[in-house]
Amino acid sequence: RIAYVNGQYVPHADAAVHIEDRGYQFADGVYEVCEVRDGALIDAPRHLARLWRSLDELRIRAPMGEAALRVVLNETVRRNRVRNGIVYLQVTRGVARRDHTFPSDATPPALVVTARAHDRARMDAGAEAGVKVITVPENRWPRVDIKTVGLLPNVLVKQQAKEAGAKEAWYVDAEGYVTEGGSTNAWIVTREGVIVTRPAENGILRGVTRTTLFDLAEKLQMRIEERRFTVAEAKAAAEAFNTAATALVTPVTAIDGEPVGDGRPGPVALGLRRRFHEFAA
């Protein structure tokens, strides 16, 4: 395997960043995960647009232009011979003697890109069987709209889910509304067939998969509503599902041990999963 590290393609086993990298010391960085399908990046323009937004919000300089970054992403995919898998990119504020305030403007941001193949048939089979989720109190900082590498709360709840025999943890805000999963956006389908997900204006990351799913649902003339929903509403819903570049559309079959609908992956979620790539760019 090959990784891209600050201008060079190096063997993955030897790829390293300096111990004074601000990503390492302060989680002072942002990232993106993009699906690779049949050798092509899926929804790359939206992932890059969000990356630039994350960088701007944190006042981290872009390591290169968007076109050049796309070349690096594609080249990393190519050098790893990834047909189906993911490409990961991370930008940190760079390497500087430890100090909380920003380093000098001369400090270049650090860019790392990796690519990893997965067995698509196996992944599809796993996802289509559905996953269980647990619910946990929201405990993250309010700027979850920025895709930062500061993921400690997410790490802890994903581990908690795993230890509970579940795949994902849904965060629940102080008012009892679901925000999102530890690494996915959360959705339900009501008994009337309306697809519901939380508005992206607060409390969640605006998922690229989420945005593309809106396009898909609209083109298919499905009823879709952006509004908050509670855990109780989710448990009583016909279906629930998660979205992310890594999960695509993954049906949720149980919440806190209680079955959703008939406890099997729902037709709306499975249908959206199977048609997703017709509308991805």
Question: How many residues of this chain bind ligand PDD (CB under 6 A)?
Answer: 14
Per CB under 6 A, the list member of 184, 197, 250, 253 interacting with ligand PDD is: 184
167 is catalytic: no
Nearer to ligand PDD, 243 or 253 (CB): 243
**CA pair distance 215, 195, nearest whole angstrom:** 13
82 near ligand PDD (CB under 6 A): no
Give the DSSP letter string of 160-210. Answer: HHHHTT-SEEEEE-TTSBEEEESSSEEEEE-TT--EEE--TTSSS---HHH
User: Which range touches ligand PDD (CB under 6 A), out of 4-12, 61-69, 70-78, 201-209?
Assistant: 201-209
138 near ligand PDD (CB under 6 A): no
Pairing of strands 131-137, 168-172: parallel
Nearer to ligand PDD, 118 or 264 (CB): 118
CB of 247 to ligand PDD, least distance (A): 7
Given 147, 162, 167, 235, the catalytic residue = 147
Cα 48 from chain centroid (whole Å): 13
207 near ligand PDD (CB under 6 A): yes
217 near ligand PDD (CB under 6 A): no
209 near ligand PDD (CB under 6 A): yes
210 near ligand PDD (CB under 6 A): yes
Give the DSSP letter string of 119-144. Answer: -HHHHHHHHHT-EEEEEEE--S-S-T
- Which of the residues 239 through 258 are near ligand PDD (CB under 6 A)? 243-246
**CA pair distance 150, 8, nearest whole angstrom:** 25
Per CB under 6 A, the list member of 111, 189, 208, 272 interacting with ligand PDD is: 208
Per CB under 6 A, the list member of 110, 112, 166, 205 interacting with ligand PDD is: 205
Q: What secondary structure letter does DSSP report for 60?
A: P
- HSE, side-chain direction, 13 A CA sphere, residue 207: 30
Nearer to ligand PDD, 96 or 246 (CB): 246
Per CB under 6 A, the list member of 21, 168, 180, 239 interacting with ligand PDD is: 180
**CA pair distance 116, 134, nearest whole angstrom:** 28
Residue 114's SS3 state is strand
| Amino acid occupying residue 187 | W
Instruction: Tell me which residues are annotated as active site.
Output: 147
The binding site for ligand PDD (CB under 6 A) comprises 33, 180, 183-185, 205, 207-210, 243-246
